[in-house]
Amino acid sequence: MFSSLDKVDLMTEQDGVQVCIQTDHRSPADMDETPELSVLFALVRTLVPRRFAADGAPAPKVKYVAMHGASEGVAEAVAAAGAALETITEGTPKLVVYPGSPRPVATLVDEAFRGLAHRVALRESVAVSLIGLKAFEDRILADAWDLKDGEQEIEAWTAAVELAALTGECIRQVHGGQWVLTEEALAGGMGTQISVADFGLLPFAYARETGELHNAANKAIRAMSEPGQSVLQMLVTDSSEAHEAGKMMVILKPADWGTHGVVSRPLFETLTDGPLVVIGKDMPNTVAYTAADERSPEEIDAVFAEALANLAEVQVEVERLDLDVPMDIYVVHGDFYAAEKILDEGFMHSMHARVGQELLAVSVPVRGRMFVTAGAQAPENIARMLALAQGAFEGEPNPISPRVFGVVNGKIAAIVQASPESEPPEKKKGLWRRLFGG
């Protein structure tokens, strides 16, 4: 059965080496009806048997027999796992050689889990967020699928892998990172003092940008197998130590980041497609975001007040850009939270004094950088500032917003837009040349 993730269909021996045979009776078209699941199932069924060699014996060889042929995705997965692919033609086994070189297993795993998570979110009408994860998990647990019941095998393992996929994508949204092959991650130094056996059946783990491994796949199995367990609760538990230390901070996120069930507000209330302000504790290697569940409006206000007080302590550098244009533009940098200083009223009052105007035009295009100029000046200069914001925002790995905000009395008061009579700067190669000529 193609969904027998915890079993080997047939065992034989060839030249003193164990051979594990896994069968799949679906057609290529059937496999492509659930492409991500087909890839993940094939990877599990070809990778896991290699773990169970007898002491001193070579790892078993694995043969994946697709009775009616394999889809392109399954064929690549089998080849990437180092297994042999066979089909049955008129009752005769035929070895199928994968053309070219398959992509790495980790690439296939990350691509499949990510695609599956968004497919599940669309089908179930839930967001890729902690709230959406809770809703989907509640539905799965209500169905009470039994992973040990052979008659429920397809539905149960599908539910487990789908829950793992959505869990991983929720981690990605907050912490970045990617799905990895557990053995490769541990061999590379991740998860020190942890063995493969500690992770469980599924050979995949989620690696955050910091390198921390999260056993999202096998915790989905645990949530379905042990009463009272929950992947959402496990996520909270895994982060409990991080929440015991660190300063509460405000963090700017782009408009499409989503809220993910964490404490958040729009940067500017009237801008529906503008950046978000979220709250999290600043840890040495990550940010532990603050969940919004069951917090009263008064508690949320208190959290924001604490975070803004901590922001005021952040020291940044301010430099005037040396540009051959008839305007002064200052860049605020030198700290991870430089862009967030737009929320620090005391700091913005100092920028009013530096620029010499009550109205400032301010851009926070990317993480760690803010641009400031006078808000009342020639239309062509405002156009340059708008172009600077857009150019700095595009193609950056940590974008926030291409908007330019009007700041009055230390607070955001408006959105700056180009005057109808202003002409945008001619685009040229290089950011500064493109925006300002020269």
Looking at per-residue confidence, does 174 or 197 come out higher?
174
pLDDT at 158 exceeding the cut of 60: yes
Pairing relationship of beta strands 247-253 and 17-24 according to DSSP bridges: unpaired
- Beta-carbon contacts of 13 under 8 Å, excluding residues fewer than 6 positions away, are 19
* pLDDT tens-digit map of 105-141: 999 999 999 999 999 988 988 878 777 888 888 888 8
Say what the pLDDT of residue 375 is.
93
**pLDDT tier for residue 190 given thresholds of 50, 70 and 90:** very low
**Residue 4 resides in a domain:** no
Q: What is the mean pLDDT of residues 95-100?
A: 90
H or E element, residue 117: helix 105-124
**Residue 361 resides in a domain:** yes
Say what the pLDDT of residue 424 is.
53
The domain spanning residue 81 has which CATH number? 3.40.50
Instruction: Check: CB of residue 66 under 8 Å from CB of residue 24.
Output: yes
Residues 357 and 273 both lie in one domain? no
Phi, psi of 300 (to 5 degrees): -65, -40
The share of the chain scoring above pLDDT 90, in percent, equals: 40
Say what the pLDDT of residue 427 is.
42
Q: What is the mean pLDDT of residues 10-36?
A: 89
Residues 120 and 42 both lie in one domain? no
Q: How far is the C-alpha of 69 from the C-alpha of 66, rounded, in Å?
A: 5
Other residues' Cβ atoms within 10 Å of the Cβ of residue 269? 9
Residues 94 and 129 both lie in one domain? no
Residues 231 and 112 both lie in one domain? yes
pLDDT at 303 exceeding the cut of 50: yes
Q: What angle do CA 166, 172, 176 make, to 5 degrees?
A: 170
* pLDDT tens-digit map of 237-283: 554 444 445 688 899 988 887 766 788 889 988 887 789 999 887 76
Residues 329 and 286 both lie in one domain? no
**Residue 44 resides in a domain:** yes
Residues 308 and 326 both lie in one domain? no
Average pLDDT score, the chain: 82
**Residue 381 resides in a domain:** yes
Domain end, chosen from 199, 216, 238, is at 238
**Residue 176 resides in a domain:** yes
Say what the pLDDT of residue 70 is.
92
**Residue 366 resides in a domain:** yes
Q: How far is the C-alpha of 126 from the C-alpha of 224, rounded, in Å?
A: 20
Residues 36 and 48 both lie in one domain? yes
Residues 19 and 86 both lie in one domain? yes
Cβ density class 380-408: b for 16+ within 10 Å, e for less: bbbbbbbbbbbbbbeeeeebbbbbbbbbe
Domain end, chosen from 278, 312, 346, is at 312
With the CA atoms of 100, 105, 107 and 110 taken in that order, what torsion angle do they form, in degrees rounded to the nearest 10? Answer: 140
**Residue 1 resides in a domain:** no
- Beta-carbon contacts of 244 under 8 Å, excluding residues fewer than 6 positions away, are none
Domain housing 262: 247-312
Residue type, 354: R
pTM for this model (two decimals): 0.56
Give the 3-state secondary structure of residue 160. helix
The share of the chain scoring above pLDDT 70, in percent, equals: 83
Residues 370 and 329 both lie in one domain? yes
* pLDDT tens-digit map of 212-246: 788 888 888 888 887 777 776 666 555 444 444 56
Tokens of 85: 């692919």
Give the 3-state secondary structure of residue 49. helix
Say what the pLDDT of residue 264 is.
85
Tokens of 254: 């782009």
Q: What is the mean pLDDT of residues 321-347?
A: 90
**Residue 214 resides in a domain:** yes
Q: How far is the C-alpha of 369 from the C-alpha of 355, rounded, in Å?
A: 17
Residues 228 and 110 both lie in one domain? yes
Residues 292 and 270 both lie in one domain? yes
C-alpha distance across the termini of the chain, in Å? 67
**pLDDT tier for residue 162 given thresholds of 50, 70 and 90:** very high
Say what the pLDDT of residue 418 is.
79
Q: How many domains does the chain have?
A: 4
pLDDT at 339 exceeding the cut of 80: yes
Residues 251 and 201 both lie in one domain? no
Q: How far is the C-alpha of 165 from the C-alpha of 267, rounded, in Å?
A: 31
